A and B are shown apart, each in its own frame.
Chain A
Amino acid sequence: MKKTLLIFFVLLFSFSGIRSSEYSIDKVQVPLTFDNYYTYEMTIAALEKLNKAYPYLTKLEVVGKSEEGRNIYAMIVSNPKTGNELDKPGIYVDGNIHGNEIQATEVTLYLLNYLLTNYEKNNEIKNLVDKKSFYIIPIVNVDGRYHFFKDANTSSSNRGLRRPKDDDNDGLVDEDFPDDLDGDGNICLMRKEDPFGNFKTDPEDPRLMIRTKPGEKGEWTLLGSEGIDNDGDGKVNEDSEGYVDPNRNWGFDWAPKYVQSGSGDYPFSGVGLKSISEFIMKKPNICMTWLFHNSGGMFLRGPSTKSQGEYPKGDVQVYDYLGNQAERIVPNYRYLIGWKDLYTTYGDFGEWMTMLWGTYNFVGELYTHDPEAFQTIGERKKRAKLKENEDSKAMFRGNIEKDRERLKFDDNLNQGKFFKEWKHYKHPVYGDIEIGGWVKMSTRVTPPFLLKDLVHRNASAVLFSAKHTPEISIKISNPKKIGKNLYRIRTALVNSKAMPTMSYHAKYKKLYTEDFLKVSGKGIKVIAGGLLQDKYRDKVIYKEYRPEIQFFTIPGFSKIDFQFLISGKGKVIFKYKSRHGGKIVKTIDLK
C-alpha cells in the first residue's frame, strides 16, 4: 500500500516537473549556468554543489522552516583563515521574498557562483571574500517559489505566504484560488464577447484589446483571471493563498491590515520570516543589505513612510554614492526613495534592517521592459520625446504602444512563447468565453536569454557596495616622553571606504554601542585620554571618566585621532572593536 502511494506521488511529481521544465534549467553543475531558472529544488541542489566545491569558503545553513515546512537556506561566504566571520563587515543579500519574483534568486546564486569561482582567479574578488562576510538567502519565500513553478499562475500571483488567511472576511479560509481551466500551467485572462463591454480589439494587433472611449461600441468584457467561483459567493478567485505579504510583516513600523493590506495578524506572524530575523540578529556585523524583487528597474532606499522623515544627511550621502553608481552599473534602473517615488509601506524588511540594525539597504526591483522595446533607431528617438510622467502612468495603466512592441518582441525573439493566443472555452458560469494573454513566465519575469546580463549587472552593483563597507586601519605613534613617568601616545584610525563604521541613524538613535578603542596593559595606567581635534595645536577633548576607553564612529573616507597620556612601563595594548568595522589589536612597548 505504502509503495503504491509512493509511486503515485512520484508520478504526480514527475508529471508536474515535465510541465514546468521548459522554464527551468536541465542540470545543476558548478560553475552554475544562467540561461534559465532554478526551481526550489534546483536552488538547493546548486547551493549544495557550491558548498561541496568550496567547503573552506562556504557554510550552508538551514535557518528555519516555512509555513508548509520547507527549509529556508542561507549560504555564508567567508574565509575563516583571514579572521572570524563576525569580525568582518557583513553583506546580506536575499531574493524572492515575493513568491512570484523569481529572478531575484538567480541574482543571489550568480553572486555566490561569481565570488567562489573567481576567488582564485581575480584579486579583487579574493580581497572581498577574505575581508568580508557574505550572507545569502537565495529564496526567502520558499513555498512561494515552489508553488510558482509547480502551479498555474500569473506573473503576479502567488506572492504571499502560505498562511491560512481569510482574505475576503467571509469566515472561510483560502477557499477560492484561481483555476487553470485549460490546463496549460498558466493563469491567463478570461474575456467574453459583449457589445456593451469596455474593450475592443486593437486594430493593429488583434491579440490586444484597447479600452473604448465613452460612446464607442465595445466588443469585449474582461472577466479577470482564469478561474471559477469555487465557494459560490459570486466572486471569482477572491481568496487564494493567505494574503500575508512577507514584505509587510516585519517588526519596524508594522501596521494592521486596515492601514495596509497584507500585513498579517501581527509582526512576524510568518514563521519563516521570524527565523530569518533571528538568523540576522546573530550577525551584528551585517552593515549592507540587498533585497531583490521584481520588477520595474529600481534601486529603492527608505524611508518607507513620509512620517518617518528623511534619513540623516550623512546617510543620504552614502546612499547617493552607492545608488548613483548602481544606476551606472545597471542601465535604465533608477535609484529612488520608497515612499516618495513609489508608495508607502509599513513593516517592510528593508526598514527593519536600516532602522533597527543600522544597515544600509537597497531593494532591487529587477527587470524593466526596455529590452523588450522593438524599435528602429528612429522609433526610439520618437519614444524618448514622450514626457516622463506619461511613462510613469504607463507603469500602472498599461500603454498600448508598449504592448504592441512587447508582442512583436515576443514573436521575434521568443518565437511567441510568452503570449497565449485567445482560445474558446466553455465556462460553467460565463458560458462561451475566451482564455488568453501573457503567460506566467512573462511580463515581470526576464526572458531567459536576457537573464545572464541581468544577474551579472545586479550582482556587480552588490559587489560595488560590498567594496565600500568600512575598512579600518590603525596607526599608533611612537610614545613621546613628556614627564618623568608620563608618555604621550597618539592613534590614528582611518576608514578608507565610503560607509561609516556606524550609520548616522544608528548613532543618533543609540541603537547599539559605538566603535571603541580601549587601551590597557599590566604595568601601565591611562591618566588622560581624549579626542585629538587639532594635532598641530595639541587641542584635545579629554574624557573625564574612564579615559582608557574612547567611543566614536569613523565616517566614510575619513580619519579620527586620539591622544593618551600614559604612565608606567610594559606592554600597552590598543584594542579597536566595531560592529561593522571589525576588530584590530595592536601592542607597543613602553620602556
Chain B
Amino acid sequence: MKKKVLIVLISFFLISFSVKGKKEDLEFKNYHTPKDINKIMKDIAGSNKKISKLYEIAESAGGNKVYIIEIGPEVGKIKKTFPAIFVASNFSGINMLSSEASVFLMKDLIEKPEHRKDKTWYILPEGNPDAAWNFFKKPLLKDSRNMKPFNDDKDDRTDEDGFEDLNGDGLISKMRLKHPEGEYIPVEGEKRLMKKADPVKGEKGVYKIYTEGLDNDGDGKFNEDGKGGVDISRNFPHLFKFFTKTGGYWSGSESEVYNLFKFIFSHKEIAMTITLGETNFCMIPPRGGRKGQVDYTKIKIPKRMGKFLNVDVEKSYSMKEIMEIVKKIVPQGFEVSESMVASFLGLGAVVNPLKNDLKFYKEISEEYKKYLKKVKHEKKRLDPPKAKDGSFELWSYYHLGLPTFTMDFWTLPKIENKKKLSDITPEKLEKMTKEEFLAMGKDKINSFLKSSGAPENIKADFIINAVKSGQMTPKKIAGFLKKMPEKKDSKGGKPEERSLLSFSDKNLGGKGFTDWKKFEHPTLGNVEIGGAVPYAAIVPPPEMIKELLNKQVPFIFELTKKISEIKIKSIKIKNLGAGLYEVKVWIENRGYLPYPTEMGKKNGMVSPVVVTLSGKGIKFIEGRKRSLIKNIGGLGTKMVKWLVFSKYPVKAQIKSETKMASRDIRSVVLGGEK
C-alpha cells in the first residue's frame, strides 16, 4: 500500500500528462515533455506566422526532432537588419527548468511586442531531447546522454546491461551491500548518507555501493552498459575532451551539435547567446585560471624554429617582434598573418576569459544581484556549477567571440549554519575598537574564533596579545576571517547532500530521498536499496516553476538591452576648394557591450563595421569607398575620413553596416568646383 502511494506521489511530482489534440497549456504548473514543447512551438509558429517561424535543424539518434523557433520582426528575410539573440536550453538534458524558461520566454515574446520590435530571437528550448525524455520515463533515471548506441564496456555487445527498478518504486536508486571489500560507511550524524571510509581517520569500510539493477550480461559489473551515447553539453569544440565515456568521439559528432554549428554559421546576425541550463555567468562570471595559455607578449620560440628564424631561443618575444622577423624571411608576395605564425609555433588556444571581457561580466553580475534584490529573489542557494569543457557556452564565447550569458534559475537552498556558538560575526568585529574587543574577554573570544572557523592553533591568548601590542586590529582579524573558506564539517555529509536532505524533508515531504530498505537481490543476496531520488537536487518541484521563471526570466531582456548598436553619430563635410571635399564620419556604438568582445577581436570571427560612401562621379583621393572599422568599444566612437573629388554637387550616401549589429544610412550632398 505504502509503495503504491509513493508511486502515485512521484508520478504526480514528476510527470506531466498531455492530452492528445489539445493545445498545450502554458500555465507552467508542470514540466513539458520534448514532444509537448515541439507541439507548443508548432502552435506558436502556426498561429503567429508574421512574427515567428519554425526551423527543424536536426534529428537526434533517438529519433527526436530538434527545433528552433524564430520570433521577431524580420521573419522569412534571409538578410536581417536587426541583431539576433540565440537562446538555447538544456543541452545537458537534465536541467528541465531551463526548457520551461525557453517556453516562458517564447510566450512572453509573442505577448509583448516591445521585446521583439527591433530584435530577432532564435530559441532552441530542447538542446538534448533524447536525454530530456528520461525525466518523463519510468523508472526514473538521470542521464545526460542521447540515444546513440555506444559500447560503454567495450565487450562484444552494445547497450546490453542497463538499470533495473528492482523494488518497483519507479526510481533508479543505489544498492548497498555488506561486503568484505566494502569501502563505504554511513556518515556520522546522518545515517542516510554514505561516504568513503578514510583509513587515516581509523574508519573501516563496510559497504559496496552499486546502482540499482542486475548484471544482465554476467560480466561481474552492474549496469555498466545501458542505453545512451553522448552528452550533448560536452560535444562542442572548445576544450573538447577526447576519449571520454560520454563526450562523443569528436566535437560535432552528434547531429544535434553539428547541425547547430551549421545553423549558427548561417545566421551571422546573431549578436549574443544566452544558454539556459547548468551555469550562471550572470551570477558568477566565466572562470579563468586554466593552465596552458600562451601570453602573446612573452613567447618562447622552440629550438628547432629558433634556428630557422635565427633568433635567441633563451629570450622571449612579443608577437609583434616575431611578425617582423618572419616577414623578412618569407618569400616575397607571401602574406603572413598572426594566426599563421601562431599555428606555426604551435601557440594553441585561449583558455581563459580575456581581461576586458571580464570587466563587463563583473559589472553585469553586480547588476544581476541588484535585480534579484528588486524582485525579492534573494534566498541563499548553492552555487551553480562551473561551465564544462566542451559546453555550448564556452564555444560561444571562445570560438564565436559573442557576448555569452548563461542562467540556471534554481539550485538547492543553502543550509543555514547550525546555531552559532557566538553571536559575533566578522562584520560586527570590523566595527569594534581595540578596547571593545579586549573587553570581550578570553572565553568569548575563544568561542567566537571557533564559530568563525579559525585554525585550531590560533587561541584567544595569542590574539589578545597581538591586539594589545598593536600588531593586530579587530578590523584586520575580521579581514582574515572573511577570507577563510567556510568550515567544512564532515559530520552530516557534503553540503550538497545535506542541502538535498534538508530540502527533501522540509519541502518535498521526504520524497527527495529514499530511505535504505532491505531487498533480496537475485545474485547479490541481501542488499538495501535507497539514496537520493534522481533529479531531486536539480529540478525544483513543479509548483515552483512559475514563480522562479516569473522573477528571473525577465533579466534576459536586461541583458539584450546591452547589445552593441552601431550607428552614424555625425557627419562633417568640409569644402577644401576646387572640387575637393573632406568627409568625416563618426560611427558610434550606442550599446553597452563592445563590438566585438575582446575575444571576438582575438579570434577574428566577427566581421568589421563596413562604412561606405557612394555617389555618382565621386573620385576617392584618400580613403576607399568601403572603409572598415574592426572594433568599437561599448558606448565608444570611431572616425572614418575620406578626401574626395567631385566636379558637380551630388547626392551621396553614407552607410554603416555590420553583419550582426545594425545598420544606418544617411544622405548628404557634396561636390562642386566652388
Q: Specify which of A199, A345, A352, A393 is in contact with B308 (CB 8 Å cutoff).
A: A393
CB distance B250 to A396 under 8 Å? no
CB distance A344 to B308 under 8 Å? no
Residue of A171, A198, A257, A305 with most chain B CB atoms under a 10 A cut-off:
A171
Residue of B250, B261, B292, B335 with most chain A CB atoms under a 10 A cut-off:
B250
Task: Give every chain A residue within 8 A of B335 (Cβ-Cβ).
Answer: 238
Q: Specify which of A223, A233, A510, A518 is in contact with B333 (CB 8 Å cutoff).
A: A223
CB distance B156 to A352 under 8 Å? no
Q: Specify which of A251, A259, A265 is in contact with B265 (CB 8 Å cutoff).
A: A265
* Residues A509 and B218 in contact in the complex (CB < 8 Å), given A259-B342, A260-B343, A267-B252: no
**Per-residue B-contact encoding for A282-313, CB less than 8 Å = 1, 0 else:** 00000000000000000000000111000000
In the assembly, what is the distance between CA of A495 and CA of B557, in Å? 66
**Per-residue A-contact encoding for B193-231, CB less than 8 Å = 1, 0 else:** 000000000000000000000000111100000000000
In the assembly, what is the distance between CA of A355 and CA of B237, in Å? 16
* Residues A305 and B346 in contact in the complex (CB < 8 Å), given A258-B604, A265-B265, A267-B237: yes
Look across to chain A and name the residue whose beta carbon is closest to the beta carbon of B258: A268
Task: Give every chain B residue within 8 A of A87 (Cβ-Cβ).
Answer: none
Task: Sort A-B residue pairs by CB-CB distance and give the 10 closest, nearest first.
Answer: A224-B333, A251-B250, A344-B346, A260-B343, A222-B332, A545-B220, A266-B261, A258-B603, A509-B243, A261-B339
In the assembly, what is the distance between CA of A254 and CA of B543, in Å? 44
In the assembly, what is the distance between CA of A306 and CA of B294, in Å? 14
CB distance B219 to A545 under 8 Å? yes
**Smallest distance from the beta carbon of B406 to chain A beta carbons, Å?**
20
In the assembly, what is the distance between CA of A303 and CA of B349, in Å? 18
CB distance B156 to A549 under 8 Å? yes
Is A398 part of the binding interface, using a Cβ–Cβ cutoff of 8 Å? yes
What would 18 more interface pairs be, CB under 8 Å, given A171-B628, A189-B332, A356-B242?
A166-B607, A169-B608, A170-B607, A170-B626, A255-B349, A258-B350, A261-B340, A339-B346, A343-B346, A389-B307, A393-B308, A396-B329, A396-B330, A514-B154, A516-B156, A546-B217, A546-B218, A549-B155
Task: Give every chain B residue within 8 A of A267 (Cβ-Cβ).
Answer: 237, 250-252
In the assembly, what is the distance between CA of A224 and CA of B605, in Å? 27
Look across to chain B and name the residue whose beta carbon is closest to the beta carbon of A189: B333
**Smallest distance from the beta carbon of A581 to chain B beta carbons, Å?**
15
Look across to chain B and name the residue whose beta carbon is closest to the beta carbon of A199: B332
Is A537 part of the binding interface, using a Cβ–Cβ cutoff of 8 Å? no
Is B249 part of the binding interface, using a Cβ–Cβ cutoff of 8 Å? yes
**Residues 187-245 (chain A) with a chain B CB within 8 angstroms:** 189, 198-199, 222-225, 232-234, 238
CB distance A257 to B604 under 8 Å? yes
In the assembly, what is the distance between CA of A356 and CA of B244, in Å? 12
**Per-residue B-contact encoding for A494-529, CB less than 8 Å = 1, 0 else:** 000000000000000111111010100000000000
Task: Give every chain A residue within 8 A of B265 (Cβ-Cβ).
Answer: 265-266, 269
In the assembly, what is the distance between CA of A474 and CA of B100, in Å? 59
Look across to chain A and name the residue whose beta carbon is closest to the beta carbon of B330: A396
Look across to chain B and name the residue whose beta carbon is closest to the beta carbon of A304: B346
Task: Give every chain B residue within 8 A of A343 (Cβ-Cβ).
Answer: 343-344, 346
* Residue count of chain A within 8 Å CB distance of chain B: 63
In the assembly, what is the distance between CA of A411 and CA of B342, in Å? 40
Is A346 part of the binding interface, using a Cβ–Cβ cutoff of 8 Å? yes
CB distance A258 to B331 under 8 Å? no
In the assembly, what is the distance between CA of A222 and CA of B330, in Å? 13
CB distance B346 to A253 under 8 Å? no
In the assembly, what is the distance between CA of A398 and CA of B607, in Å? 36
CB distance B249 to A251 under 8 Å? yes
CB distance A252 to B250 under 8 Å? yes
Task: Give every chain B residue within 8 A of A509 (Cβ-Cβ).
Answer: 243
Q: Is the interface of A mostly helix, strand, loop or mixed?
A: loop
Is A544 part of the binding interface, using a Cβ–Cβ cutoff of 8 Å? yes
CB distance A344 to B343 under 8 Å? yes
In the assembly, what is the distance between CA of A268 and CA of B251, in Å? 10
Is B304 part of the binding interface, using a Cβ–Cβ cutoff of 8 Å? yes
**Residues 333-371 (chain A) with a chain B CB within 8 angstroms:** 339-340, 343-346, 352, 355-356
Binding site for B on A (CB under 8 A): 166, 169-171, 189, 198-199, 222-225, 232-234, 238, 251-261, 265-269, 305-307, 339-340, 343-346, 352, 355-356, 389, 392-393, 396-398, 509-514, 516, 518, 544-546, 549, 551, 577
CB distance A306 to B156 under 8 Å? no
Task: Give every chain A residue within 8 A of B154 (Cβ-Cβ).
Answer: 510, 512-514, 551
Task: Give every chain B residue within 8 A of A352 (Cβ-Cβ).
Answer: 250
Task: Give every chain A residue within 8 A of B608 (Cβ-Cβ).
Answer: 169-171
Q: Specify which of A268, A306, A512, A545 is in contact with B252 (CB 8 Å cutoff).
A: A268
Look across to chain A and name the residue whose beta carbon is closest to the beta carbon of B243: A509
CB distance B348 to A259 under 8 Å? yes
In the assembly, what is the distance between CA of A171 and CA of B265, in Å? 14
Is B417 part of the binding interface, using a Cβ–Cβ cutoff of 8 Å? no
Q: Specify which of A232, A258, A356 is in contact with B250 (CB 8 Å cutoff).
A: A356
CB distance A392 to B308 under 8 Å? yes
CB distance A258 to B219 under 8 Å? no
In the assembly, what is the distance between CA of A563 and CA of B199, in Å? 40
CB distance B151 to A171 under 8 Å? no
Q: Specify which of A251, A259, A268 is in contact with B349 (CB 8 Å cutoff).
A: A259
Is B610 part of the binding interface, using a Cβ–Cβ cutoff of 8 Å? yes
Look across to chain B and name the residue whose beta carbon is closest to the beta carbon of A281: B249
In the assembly, what is the distance between CA of A345 and CA of B345, in Å? 10
Is B422 part of the binding interface, using a Cβ–Cβ cutoff of 8 Å? no
* Residues A513 and B155 in contact in the complex (CB < 8 Å), given A169-B607, A233-B626, A251-B252: yes
In the assembly, what is the distance between CA of A194 and CA of B368, in Å? 63
**Per-residue A-contact encoding for B607-639, CB less than 8 Å = 1, 0 else:** 110100000000000001110100000000000
Is B347 part of the binding interface, using a Cβ–Cβ cutoff of 8 Å? yes
Is B253 part of the binding interface, using a Cβ–Cβ cutoff of 8 Å? yes
In the assembly, what is the distance between CA of A448 and CA of B657, in Å? 51
**Smallest distance from the beta carbon of A439 to chain B beta carbons, Å?**
16
A-B contact pairs, 20 of them (CB 8 A): A170-B610, A170-B626, A198-B332, A225-B333, A233-B624, A253-B242, A255-B348, A256-B398, A257-B604, A258-B350, A258-B605, A261-B337, A267-B252, A269-B265, A392-B308, A516-B155, A518-B156, A551-B154, A551-B155, A577-B156
Is B647 part of the binding interface, using a Cβ–Cβ cutoff of 8 Å? no
